[in-house]
Amino acid sequence: MAMLTAKLTSPAAATTWLPGGGRRSAPPRRATVIRAAAVSYADELVSTAKSVASPGRGILAIDESNATCGKRLASIGLDNTEVNRQAYRQLLLTTAGLGEYISGAILFEETLYQSTTDGKKFVDCLKDQNIMPGIKVDKGLVPLPGSNNESWCQGLDGLASRCAEYYKQGARFAKWRTVVSIPCGPSALAVKEAAWGLARYAAIAQDNGLVPIVEPEILLDGDHAIERTLEVAEKVWSEVFFYLAQNNVLFEGILLKPSMVTPGAEHKQKATPEAIAKHTLTMLRRRVPPAVPGIMFLSGGQSEVEATLNLNAMNQEPNPWHVSFSYARALQNSVLKTWQGRPENVEAAQKALLVRAKANSLAQLGRYTGEGESDEAKKGMFQKGYTY
């Protein structure tokens, strides 16, 4: 990000004492304040964010690490090899018609540089369908010293050079995920660390042409009520936007990936889509400036149908932002189970992906009914202490 310096006059002028007791006032001391100038990528960042936040479309998140992708493959009896990971992601990224419902795809670094078995770059497969390629840039969660058994996200070291390389490869937005745990407090230290890390990442990403997705995931773990989730979410997002502003992040050139405001997964009383929508939109309206183009919700272990119903409930009236989805498991679960690693099932698996993508497209437009959904799509996917 280009910088400029502004000279501000100190209120008190320096004084020089002369022989015999006289004195002479020196010129006022000046403090140098660094302020961000216009972002060189500003217009492109705004254009990219608007493209991702376009009506009836959302994000396909396939940025699982190799280890987590291996867990997904193991669930259908496949070994965790690069060939199998490539085959699965090729299935997803070459689905004809996907661009009607999907505006962006978050990739893992391996996938960003891969091609199809026919030699076509995955990045080009996406661009041909007007889908923006994105890239996961964080380096994962590690224990946060001094906290209540909480985590912080690493990856700021070398981030600028990595973002520059990802941009050259065709990525146009980035994702950084950190987490906040309600059962762990959360501690003030963990919340501040999450917010500051997200803000530094966002500024670095924008400086290198990538729209940052800002994602402080408030984990579903716990037996707390929905009101407690709302309280924590408001605190977290308040800190996030405070530090985004301090880091001179261009709000029109970011996207958010929040958790929906729900009760803890172990709470005895489930919330309706209408209650989740009410609490989530309350939080967003209190904390998120209308300058932000898009709110791309994570599914966080909800079932495919739950995630879609909740999104639909939030789009029953106009919002200041594009309210949409950035789902991983809630778009892929049925796909994996249909594919089973068999070439003859690829076409059926791609149809399953389109079914889920279209359902969420309708939810973004507020037109999803939930009719005809399978029992499999209604199964919850919450995993306590989930990592990826």
Q: Show which residues are catalytic.
A: 215, 257
Q: What are phi and psi of 301, to 5 degrees?
A: 100, 0
Q: What are phi and psi of 376, to 5 degrees?
A: -60, -40
220 in Cβ contact with 265 (< 8 Å): yes
Residue 189: which of 150, 220, 154, 219 has the closest Cα?
Answer: 150
Amino acid at 290: P
Number of H helices, E strands in the chain: 12, 12
DSSP β-bridge partners for residue 217 = 179
Nearest-angstrom CA–CA distance, 274 and 59: 23
Residue 51: which of 103, 106, 126 has the closest Cα?
Answer: 103
Burial class (CB in 10 A: 0-12, 13-18, 19+), 192: middle
**H helix intervals, the chain:** 42-52, 66-74, 82-93, 109-112, 122-127, 159-169, 188-207, 226-246, 273-287, 304-314, 329-339, 346-364
Structure tokens at 151: 């985590």
Residue for token pair 């224990």: 143
Give, in order, the Cα–Cα distances in Å from 240 to each of 77, 122, 134, 201, 255.
41, 33, 22, 12, 13
